Chains A and B, each alone.
Chain A
């Protein structure tokens, strides 16, 4: 096993790529009661068109399949639902789907190996019938409807609609009631057989483990599968420009919500982690709690809380998101724009830069407090081609000059959109 150690945070990850192609990462945490395991496949809502590795045939699938498949994986041929089995063992099990991966997980204090049996059994044994696929449409339909009333989600989806013209990031992970109506068991089996191959998957365990022992336990539970070549994924060509500058929607909310977003393009050869760190620093400098603009907006009553500041990216998209509540989102938009221009012209103040860097350092270290956060972070970063320790490794390479350059490259007015959710009255 490869051992990667980070002395700054004093943690180690043991990494192994098994013969069947599965990547396993083990992060031992002494004296913790909780054990966490998460098994993910590199299949998310973005993956809507691909070439079947066996036949070479290209297929296009309805929106929402990855998420639908996640729901259906729990059902077993003997009528048992694996979620129930795990729950009876007293472990907390769950699953989720994002735009680039799907993950199955549980956390336990007791019965870890029984639960691991169940997890690895159900993820490796799909059972779809016409009947159980039909039944799920009602449940997922309710889930989609629930998000219709979620102002934060609508705000985000509308921002994606403005940023992108073709990229499937603009499609809801769950799909629509219309799109899921087209899903049948053949589609599910096709996707399962393609994407749930060990070579397209990774597993992370975190807790009080001996790495060799747990690795063997995992190996013993793997079903052998024929080798499979790389999956060719087809994504629509996305222009660099945005699709629409602004969007506004009315919902039952007390205070308007805004999201200002910048579309970015990640170069294949670019250091994504380094860029991510610089953007985090920039966001804090622009509108973080200690920034002059936040102070001004707060004093004038335009912002009552610190906005959420984020750089979101996968292999297929990248954007900056600034969101919060404001009585007048246009004012925030305008003043932020002016502040960016000012910083580009005058450069970032060195003292502010060093101070914010300290803050970011603390955030990176604190991520290693929680077993579940560690495991989820390593899995999500893995599918982006990143080892989570890279953030601590690259931290010192982010200079003031580099950050000034990123400011000019990313915070471009033509690449900016504004999404607003307004109240009824």
Chain B
């Protein structure tokens, strides 16, 4: 799988991933803009409002009927955080024409439909459709309020908020309910115009693609301006230093407590991100990892015990579901594991299996259509670009000394515990 990349206008790039593995073609359009407190909630609302209706598709029902007729093409809009950027995402997946019972041209229809929804919104008197904005505001309010529903994820979000207080990365990608009161059809449309004018645009197409597809896209974007996009490289170095770990405990009416520990990796050597990936796999990335083995298997303290590495911010997050009363014990065992990493208490087999599991994930990227797009988009946002083979090579080259060196620069920043309220009795 290879990517053909063409900047069709300054700040607007088309990426083609030619593959015959899938029954579908996948079209994605991403808008990347710096994450800012004053824009975060507006931006979260924009994709939702756009896919509700456009100038030529007046209602959501019309759009959905069109998608049905396109053999259940799937349209989706969403929002992600990529380093210190906020990314507005649009997806349209449709069947490849060769699997249709009747002749059709679904890729053309998809390109037309998505560009219509994004660039030709329903506007009257310099305002979005008020009904759509109000409806989507309510929906966003429920998404934001709903972050408490998934307890493990909520604990994770809270830990990040505490670690990145008053910084872009600490912002919740869906924004804040208190902003919603100020948002109306007019000021939202103004934000949209700025976004369309200034942000970085990436268009991805994966599947069996006709030769003239780039020209088609160029034609569709004829009237879209060039831009000097102001996005932030996702691998920008950050000045971090060791701090006294913060411990935060919060109560909720839950049976199982969620423990999240946010760690800083305070090292800025070249290629350290590959070292950190291997470090993380040994610590908590696989079922043979130290955390899984010691917190779950040996101590029987938890059903879940794992860690993940956040490349863009150089953090590791440890997550466990435990009984509240076992908090100190679990924390102690986790700290022991971090100490063992520092002392180099892991062997060549641990390193080998950690590398294997990372490489296997990389190798499978071409087998999933959206994964390929996510990979190349990640490369697009970082300052250095790299294909799968180079990536694999970097992982293979990591040595034990490098991992141990890195371990000495890993420090706990925040310990966050979401616990069941203390009740009288046997809790």
Contacts and interface: CB of A to CB of B under 8 A. Distances in A.
A33 B364 contact: yes
Contacts of A107: 364
A88 B252 contact: no
Interface string A27-42: 0010111100000000
B71 A88 contact: no
Contact of B287 (A32, A87, A288, A366): A87
B300 interface: yes
A363 B93 CA distance: 11
Interface residues of B, number: 66
B351 to A, nearest CB: 11
A81 B297 contact: yes
Contacts of B359: 90, 109-110
Most buried by B among A93, A255, A288, A292: A255
Interface string B281-308: 0000011100001001100111110000
A424 B256 contact: no
Interface in A110-159: 110-111, 135, 138-140, 142-143, 145-146, 148-149, 151
Interface in B303-318: 303-304
A9 interface: yes
Given A32-B21, A304-B138, A87 B288 contact: yes
A386 B99 CA distance: 23
Contact of B99 (A8, A138, A142): A8
A53 to B, nearest CB: 34
B256 A148 contact: yes
A142 B256 contact: yes
Interface in A296-352: 298-299, 301, 304-305, 325
Interface string B132-153: 0001001100100111110100
Q: Most chain-B Cβ atoms within 10 A of its Cβ — which of A9, A254, A255, A325?
A: A254
B126 interface: no
B64 to A, nearest CB: 4
A368 B69 CA distance: 20
A313 to B, nearest CB: 22
Interface stretch (A164-172, A353-361, A411-419): A353-361
A10 interface: yes
Contacts of A139: 296, 300, 303
A110 B60 contact: no
Contact of B72 (A90, A135, A149, A359): A359
B2 interface: no
Given A90-B359, A142-B321, A304-B138, A370 B23 contact: no
Contact of B22 (A151, A288, A305, A369): A369
A4 interface: no
Given A90-B359, A356-B68, A9 B23 contact: yes
A362 B256 contact: no
Nearest to B62: A290
A125 B381 CA distance: 49
Interface string A365-379: 110111100000000
Contact of A88 (B23, B59, B349): B349
Contacts of B302: 142
A252 interface: yes
B363 interface: yes
B353 A90 contact: yes
A361 B364 contact: no
Nearest to A81: B297
Contact of A31 (B21, B24, B138, B357): B21
Nearest to B255: A148
A68 to B, nearest CB: 14
Interface in A372-410: none
A34 B364 contact: yes
Interface in B334-369: 349, 352-353, 355-357, 359-360, 363-364, 366-369
B179 interface: no
A362 B25 CA distance: 12
A90 B301 CA distance: 26
A107 B364 CA distance: 10
Nearest to A86: B287
Contacts of A252: 148, 252-254
Contacts of A87: 286-288, 353, 357
27 contacts: A8-B101, A34-B363, A34-B367, A90-B356, A91-B360, A92-B357, A107-B364, A109-B360, A138-B300, A142-B301, A252-B252, A253-B146, A253-B148, A253-B149, A254-B148, A254-B149, A292-B61, A298-B60, A299-B131, A361-B71, A361-B101, A362-B94, A363-B72, A365-B23, A365-B24, A365-B71, A366-B23
Interface of A: 8-10, 29, 31-34, 81, 83-84, 87-93, 107-111, 135, 138-140, 142-143, 145-146, 148-149, 151, 251-255, 288-290, 292, 295, 298-299, 301, 304-305, 325, 355-356, 358-363, 365-366, 368-371, 424
